Structure 1
Amino acid sequence: MVLFVVVSLVLLFILFYALLDDLYLLKIKRLPPGPLSLPIIGGLHLLGQEPYKSVENMAAKYGGILSLRIGVRERVVYVTDPDLAKQLLSSEYLADRPSLPFFDIISKEGHGIGSRPYDFTWKLHTRIIYSSISKLIQTQLDDVLRNSWEYLFKTLEDSKDEPISPETTIRTAVMMTMGRFIFGHEYASADDPKLRLLLWLNEETMRGVSPLNHVNLIPGLQYINLPFYPNYRNLNMAKENFLNDEFESHKKKFDGRTVDIMDMIIKELKEDEKDSMKFRQKQREEFLLPQNFLMSIFTLIVGGEQTLSNNLLWLLLYTAKHQDCQEKIVKELRNNDVLATDFVQFHHKEKFPYTTAFYKETMRFITTTFFGVPRTASADIHVNGYTIPKGTTVFPNFWSINHNERYWSKPHEFQPERFLELENLHSSNIPGFIIFGYGRRPCIGSQVGRACLFSFLCNIINKFHVSLPPDEDPDMRGHTRLVIEPPSFKVIFQKRA
């Protein structure tokens, strides 16, 4: 009886505290409105299996900016109104990243552009890496993609018209592309040890960044070795050894020519040695530490592979699902005198408007990165009569923006032709179309992403007829995790004559 009374009192206290805290934040601090929290779980139960749709439904009641408590942590802010989202994402006070214990573990030697705050070093690294990517796209893009897709096409040919699951092959081809761009590697096969190591590092890191990872839920566990938890310190050591080996190898061979991103970073570091004050604003402050740059490179690998592989798999699934659209792409290819043995180059993209429209509609319709990458307020932000306190995490609902009737007629229908009606199909700033982030911290690899999506679609449809087996009926909603992942599915690749 006594135990029952004690437990009841504790639960009442937790409930009362959660209610008081919500009322204080919503009424006194003027945080954007939202549902009141339950003890322990907060508002997690309201997000469901498709949180982007749940948040859109909540916006109908609370407005285009709302807040919700996630578990026992602070209330976070969701933004569904397109104008508010663009305003906030363009603010210098909403350009930091929230702290993630896993990133602290694997960034002990230096934080890269993925996790560091919006400071001078972040801007410098971003400028250098973005410039490096732009130069490589101008000089090497099609050759890199041709080599990566050759591995892909050979694997698909070997399937002999039998249904296969494409996920492993797609992810391997994407990592080959990343390895060539960043490190200049030409992989002999999918069993290349350096390629396998990259794939392993990427897979383990993606597990670590999950919000449900025990280290992120209970930060103190990072200091304890438990047999049933992965040892992320070992992962960090493997990552550091790999990146340092690549750096030292490039440094020894560097002769002034730049053939990959690592070469371009080494060139910047050598120029900095000649002018020690070039990138320094404060005495003894190091803006070009190699460790920080190596972590920025690792961010490119992890973020790039995950996003691009998922988008290519969705593109493949929608191509197989919509046979009428596939035939239109083939017709466009043949009308431009493209043979099944040819390789379509990215700089010819203007000749293929329907192909471009199809991949963009697929990206809009799915919006795999539905909440983007979260931002954190570095100061109190006042918007629409509300206050977003310093340290608050903010999620823009890109899925909601990409399905907003303000921009798209019948936004929940799949219609590639809608993009053909735009004045500039190839613009990177189409209203109501955000797939590579927005504002002060957009996706640094967006140039490569667009090129890969177009090149993949054009060339795979040029060489193969893609279809689902008769008994294949994948769930087109996919699986919502950090991104919207495609369901497991099999496809048949029939080589075109």
Structure 2
Amino acid sequence: MAILSSATPQLIQIIEQNPIICIVLAPILIFAIYILANEVYRYNLRIPSFSGPVGHPIYGNILQTGSNPAEQYKQWGSKYGDVYQVQLGNNPILIVNSASKAKEIFLSNSRSTNSRPMTYTFHRIVSSTAGFTIGSSPMDESLKRRRKAAASALNKPAVQSYVPHIDLETEEFIRDVFVRGKAGKVALNPLPIVRRLSLNLSLTLNWGTRISSIDDPLFNEIIEVEDHVSSFRSVTANLQDYVPFYRLNPFSKDSKLAAETRQRRDVYLTKLNKELDEKIANKTYKPCIQANVLLDPEAKLSSEELMSLSVTMINAGLDTVIVTIVWGIALLATRPDIQEKAYMAIRDMFPENEPFCDPSEDQKCAYVTAFVRETLRYFTPLRLSLPRTTSSPFMLDGKKVPKGTTFFMNTWACNYDPQLYDKPEEFRPERFLENPGLSMFSYGTGSRMCAGSLLGNRELYLFFMRLISSYEILKHDNINVDPLTGVKDYGALGSLPYDYKVIFKPRNEAILSEALDNYKPAVHG
């Protein structure tokens, strides 16, 4: 204290003699002090006993993960083990890098790991008016009510009742590529048509409505907005989620885009809900999830909770299913041997003059079912599952995992775990024929795994049955089906491939044309 008192007059004299220099140096000194203090604070936040890579000041390990965080986390696993610690900004994260540890943490300790952390961009900006999706919500009483409503809407009997909708949308895809591809004469990018298929299923199930064409402005608006939402849900793409001073930038493009995305999303969600309310009042509505909840006196969901259910249904259709279908089509175009095996398996069940197969048949074609599961595994649509946070402490390998700890399940690493899969880098549907009970992690695991997995599997199965039965998929240009180098944007929540075009060549044009002409949907949109 005495030293400080004696030094003060000298410090004041230096400031008085060099005011300009001091003004210039002051921000630098303050920033240096901030970095030093923050490093001490960041170090104290680390979870004891868990090792991991050393990070950089302020950013932690963010800058070290590169453009493909899931792969970098997978590589770090060989050095630091199946569960290790990284810091994103100041936030300590435990990375789960193996199938066995994923099951131990998220199944055996499901009660402790059943919540979600809140993120700045998605939760506080994008979702401030429409509510959080069920999958991204922290565990509370509201979520329990929403999960109960979703569970009843997505269980096996409910999914069976949705088969007419899946029937209609998959037939519409077959028709669309027939017309737009001029019966195999014009190469097509399948992504927009796949998006309409998946979006329509979400719209039909939740609101009892659908979009008739990819040329509809509403289709383009929803797809564009939900693409933005997907990037904001990404666990790695938003720096301001982990580095707080980025939030202080009043000119932040990310914050501005997030706010605009919220506003644009509110417009079409309000429109869809208002139209359904009017149909319910006029008793002209079609049976759908939203109407069932609104008319159920025991559901007791608030308007915000109903909106959460709505955005959940849209998100569910636009993530895993779309990514899996687009990769699956690319794989078939580049692997005619697998395409032929699938076609022969379908022909063993249905004759050539039944290209649409039977929509009520539930995944009895073993090879196509195995193909769907291998596509989900090999391409892993969501490389990093939505994060979990612990609601209570538990022990892991003799180490205490404190309450409030965030986990990232590296789905990419789990789906390529050599302890579970023989030669995981090979695309081989036969692995699921040889071992039908073999795990696959693309829908997550434990109590917070995707509630729509039954619906997703049913939709994927019928889609590929009808696609392969109706068309031979031919490569038109170079298609990169390498799940490491072929991803268009690793920052997005779903790992879509680069755009490509294929030829959908009818296996028998006369039979397919007749089937399309004679098709009678069980449900009209």
Assess same fold via TM > 0.5.
Answer: yes
| Contact residue 254 and residue 263 of structure 1 kept, 8 A | no
Is residue 438 of structure 1 aligned with residue 460 of structure 2?
no
Distance 1:218 1:243, change over 3 A: farther
| Contact residue 115 and residue 389 of structure 2 kept, 8 A | yes
Cα distance between partner residues in 1 of 2:504 and 2:265: 39
Partner of 1:129, secondary structure, is helix
1:150 alignment partner in structure 2: 171
Distance 1:225 1:54, change over 3 A: closer
Q: Which amino acid aligns with 1:440?
A: S
Partner of 1:465, secondary structure, is strand
Q: What are the residue-to-residue correspondences of 1:361-376 with 2, within 5 Å?
A: 361-376=374-389
2:361 alignment partner in structure 1: 348
Q: Which amino acid aligns with 2:165?
A: V
Out of 458, 474, 498, the residue aligned to residue 487 of structure 1 is 498
Partner of 1:114, secondary structure, is helix
1:68 alignment partner in structure 2: 86
Q: Which amino acid aligns with 1:159?
A: G
Is residue 244 of structure 1 aligned with residue 273 of structure 2?
yes
2:233 alignment partner in structure 1: 209
Distance 1:390 1:368, change over 3 A: same
Q: What are the residue-to-residue correspondences of 1:452-467 with 2, within 5 Å?
A: 452-467=459-474
Q: Which amino acid aligns with 2:57?
A: P
| Contact residue 469 and residue 490 of structure 1 kept, 8 A | yes
1:322-376 CA deviation, whole Å, 9 max, x = no partner?
Answer: 1101001111122223325432235424541111111211211111212211112
Cα distance between partner residues in 1 of 2:272 and 2:248: 23
Is residue 169 of structure 1 aligned with residue 200 of structure 2?
no
TM-score by length of 1: 0.84
Q: CA deviation at 1:475?
A: 5.3
Q: CA deviation at 1:459?
A: 0.5
Q: CA deviation at 1:463?
A: 0.8
1:142-179 CA deviation, whole Å, 9 max, x = no partner?
Answer: x2122212332222113133222111111112111111
Out of 132, 140, 145, the residue aligned to residue 162 of structure 2 is 140
2:214 alignment partner in structure 1: 190
Cα distance between partner residues in 2 of 1:152 and 1:97: 36
Cα distance between partner residues in 2 of 1:383 and 1:17: 31
Out of 288, 309, 312, the residue aligned to residue 260 of structure 1 is 288
| Contact residue 364 and residue 433 of structure 1 kept, 8 A | yes
Out of 91, 101, 109, the residue aligned to residue 84 of structure 1 is 101
Bigger CA drift: 149-158 or 214-223?
Answer: 214-223
Cα distance between partner residues in 1 of 2:424 and 2:479: 26
Partner of 2:162, secondary structure, is helix
Q: Runs of 5+ in structure 2 lacking a partner? A: 1-20, 509-525
Cα distance between partner residues in 2 of 1:305 and 1:340: 32
Q: CA deviation at 1:472?
A: 4.8
Q: CA deviation at 1:67?
A: 0.9
Q: CA RMSD in A?
A: 3.2
Q: CA deviation at 1:298?
A: 0.9
1:39 alignment partner in structure 2: 57
Q: CA deviation at 1:312?
A: 0.8
1:103 alignment partner in structure 2: 123
1:21-47 CA deviation, whole Å, 9 max, x = no partner?
Answer: 565455xx5152111221122112332
| Contact residue 42 and residue 90 of structure 2 kept, 8 A | no
Cα distance between partner residues in 1 of 2:130 and 2:425: 46
Cα distance between partner residues in 1 of 2:26 and 2:81: 40
Q: Which amino acid aligns with 1:97?
A: R
Distance 1:234 1:248, change over 3 A: same
Cα distance between partner residues in 2 of 1:391 and 1:379: 7
1:430-465 CA deviation, whole Å, 9 max, x = no partner?
Answer: 444112111111111111110111111111111111
Q: CA deviation at 1:392?
A: 2.8
Identity %: 23
Partner of 2:473, secondary structure, is strand
Distance 1:324 1:189, change over 3 A: same
2:404 alignment partner in structure 1: 391
| Contact residue 465 and residue 496 of structure 1 kept, 8 A | yes
Bigger CA drift: 228-237 or 368-377?
Answer: 228-237
| Contact residue 371 and residue 395 of structure 1 kept, 8 A | yes
Higher Rg of the two aligned structures: 2
1:99-130 CA deviation, whole Å, 9 max, x = no partner?
Answer: 12332333336445234321233222212222
Cα distance between partner residues in 1 of 2:295 and 2:71: 46
TM-score by length of 2: 0.80
| Contact residue 340 and residue 463 of structure 1 kept, 8 A | no
Is residue 235 of structure 1 aligned with residue 267 of structure 2?
no
2:514 alignment partner in structure 1: none
Q: How many residues align?
A: 471
Distance 1:78 1:207, change over 3 A: closer
| Contact residue 31 and residue 67 of structure 1 kept, 8 A | no
Is residue 30 of structure 1 aligned with residue 54 of structure 2?
no
| Contact residue 112 and residue 293 of structure 1 kept, 8 A | no
Cα distance between partner residues in 1 of 2:419 and 2:286: 45
Q: CA deviation at 1:391?
A: 2.8
| Contact residue 402 and residue 434 of structure 1 kept, 8 A | yes
| Contact residue 117 and residue 406 of structure 2 kept, 8 A | yes
Distance 1:473 1:435, change over 3 A: closer
1:236-287 CA deviation, whole Å, 9 max, x = no partner?
Answer: 54155235314523531458x972111221232xx23xxxxxx7xxxxxxx5
Cα distance between partner residues in 1 of 2:152 and 2:398: 39
Distance 1:431 1:335, change over 3 A: closer
| Contact residue 480 and residue 498 of structure 2 kept, 8 A | no
Distance 1:296 1:351, change over 3 A: closer
